[in-house]
Structure 1
């Protein structure tokens, strides 16, 4: 059976998105022996000089414990998934790519011994971070290499210096060229990658729809109890894509509605500060994925206030929104066009406000059922089926179908 080793760009965290969900669903399969989830590396120098910051929460403490012990941990969700946390000993790894590569090479020496000890064979290497492109040359004990192009990384890390963004551009191009199989999160990225590597395929995000329709989720979380309805709710990170000016205008126009934002603030702009001062806007912080059903079931309308001038893949949470059955109002994100029958898509502030008003009045059981059915068609487990079909076909072409 196959073993997947995923070098991720995200920690094994509360907000389980594409990277974690793919690996969880794959680990549940009978045709997969193990999944190794390699978190982004911790740097020893940060622990030495900023121990308070590095050890401020239990999640980070567990990561440091794994890293310093050179040990691994089994995911509580499925015992076939192993979590590894690398440690880098040389500083400035992300400022100077060659130092990152040196750190990675040294840590790879360790992981090779660890994998041999665990007896892994028929390994699929799965990459996300362009910084890890050297693994395509160094990690030879594999039957396939997959690059999941989940972001246009120079655009995503837009605050990086120009030289680093240029490096990211070259590195992600190298990953696309050298991978045996490339998945993209959007049509926009698919068109770019297909020219470079013909073995490129669109692989959209998914949902654990059952988290959002179980009767036990019909309760009111403690931090929602005192928030008056109607509730316009957003789930996701507050990053450069988040249109804070739109949400500010919405809070001013619909003063009778509460706007609830669930997720980590990554970019604290002046507009976000103004939002934090609004009496009808509530920032509730990041929640565990398993808790989201309780929140979405208390929303009256789910909103996606993203900047339209930023090229955005279909947001991961769109399928979670659909699974809740609640009306959805979004800005006109190009990549959401294929879902236009299920959501309101606004071209400007006036339309967004108007659609929210209409959505609050919706009382249509048929539309609710259709949204839930659409979510069920796009589960993470079904995405895992798609992944394994691509993998199986490619292994057959390589003449190693006996290993499946």
Structure 2
């Protein structure tokens, strides 16, 4: 048992316990993402109010966004949904996209009222200390509204580069959130470097992985799904959303250059995939349950991370990178700093010719012994280890550094030991005062 206010527990001594955590994130149904893994672990010893917040992005005039809006309205009127004995989801109804003035204040008060109602209905008001964790960059208006002991900004993307997000509004909203957060967690080196000059208490914690789950791919005689069982020849795999950041044209070009290989792509498509449908050796599997992914990995001889190379790329730290490695797979990726850290098990290549050549080379590094070795390198990168690290950072007193004068410091904590010091002083006293604005 750790002695800091009883925030540890006997089984997982490093994890936060006996708190009510309000988690502002994307839809629960969009998982599993880093937020899902982190909150599931924290729910073992805390009460979690998961706020499915969709108002950061302005919807477009298309069928997909219309369905999404209808879903938000339905779930808002449905009320809270219990996800597990310790987790409840609430979907607040608000005004999507950046809004200011009277409309902005109405939106903020409406969202706040719905979250407070969920707290009351879950009998969470005042029963335990409250923490506010947000993965959304533009919800500073929530800080200080729940008497919370900590405000945590968990930054996993540079949202200003996302399609459908207003870059200026996101940057303004994020600056306001940084002024009110007690601790900032970043998931990639580039995100850390971006946020550290703006806050006194910034940390780098890279994503974890469910090693035991994906290591099932290494079991002798692992069952192969029907889709890949019928394929003859080596299979290269991908799983995750086919979204605007995935280079669909690159996949199609590589597939045409390697007709002897099969490319199995698992995940829902949220971008134009017409180029892939013309390739006979590209197989679109659609969404598959998380539980089935190890079986697909067992049938793959290599895996790919075909992300577009643009301003968004340096900030990416894909969860699937470690999941591929935990399954023992060699990985071919377009150039991105977080992937390059895992060379030679991850080979980066730019352009269709180089990427195709790297795929052929990866297949040659897929022996069972190599896969076992690769999987074991992930043993220290579990989600449990990451959440213990997060807990120490959140519950430490580093948040008070700005209150006592002197030079502000942001601690760069990488699981594994690397540490650096950058940053600047912030007046943190303002974080305790509720703020409702028109932005």
TM-score (ref. length: structure 2): 0.77
Higher helix share: 1
After superposition, where does 1:27-176 map in structure 2 within 5 Å?
Answer: 27-28=43-44, 32-40=45-53, 54=67, 60=71, 66-75=75-84, 79-88=85-94, 92-94=95-97, 96-97=99-100, 99=103, 101-117=105-121, 118-119=123-124, 120-137=127-144, 139-157=145-163, 159-160=164-165, 164-176=166-178
Match for residue 225 of structure 2?
Answer: 221
Aligned length: 370
1:198 CA displacement: 2.2
- Partner secondary structure for residue 28 of structure 2: coil
- Partner secondary structure for residue 362 of structure 1: coil
Match for residue 267 of structure 2?
Answer: 263
Match for residue 302 of structure 2?
Answer: 301
Q: Distance in 2 between matches of 1:64 and 1:374?
A: 45
1:234 CA displacement: 0.9
Contact map agreement 1:74 1:81 (CA 8 A) in 2: yes
Partner deviation per Cα, 1:160-216 (whole Å, 9 max, x = no partner): 4xxx32111111122122200001121111112111112000121121122222349
Match for residue 13 of structure 1?
Answer: 29
Match for residue 402 of structure 1?
Answer: none
- 1:338 and 2:341 correspond: yes
Match for residue 3 of structure 1?
Answer: 20
Bigger mean CA deviation after superposition, 314-323 or 232-241:
232-241
TM-score (ref. length: structure 1): 0.83
Q: Distance in 1 between matches of 2:69 and 2:54?
A: 17
Q: Distance in 2 between matches of 1:243 and 1:69?
A: 37
Higher RCO (CA 8 Å, separation ≥ 6 residues): 2
Q: Distance in 2 between matches of 1:290 and 1:15?
A: 12
Partner deviation per Cα, 1:277-304 (whole Å, 9 max, x = no partner): 1111111112222221121111111111
After superposition, where does 1:186-225 map in structure 2 within 5 Å?
Answer: 186-214=188-216, 215=219, 218-225=222-229
- 1:245 and 2:258 correspond: no
- Partner secondary structure for residue 251 of structure 1: helix
- 1:230 and 2:239 correspond: no
Q: Distance in 1 between matches of 2:223 and 2:31?
A: 20
**Cα distance change on mapping 1:111 and 1:245 into 2, 3 Å:** closer
Q: Distance in 1 between matches of 2:148 and 2:337?
A: 37
Partner deviation per Cα, 1:330-381 (whole Å, 9 max, x = no partner): 1221222221132112243332211211221224444322321222221112
**Cα distance change on mapping 1:369 and 1:100 into 2, 3 Å:** farther
Q: Distance in 2 between matches of 1:71 and 1:181?
A: 28
1:54 CA displacement: 4.1
Q: Distance in 1 between matches of 2:105 and 2:239?
A: 35
Give unpaired runs (5+ residues) of structure 2: 1-17, 402-439
Match for residue 401 of structure 1?
Answer: none
- Partner secondary structure for residue 237 of structure 1: coil
Match for residue 40 of structure 2?
Answer: 24
Give unpaired runs (5+ residues) of structure 1: 399-404
RMSD, matched Cα? 2.8
Contact map agreement 1:203 1:383 (CA 8 A) in 2: yes
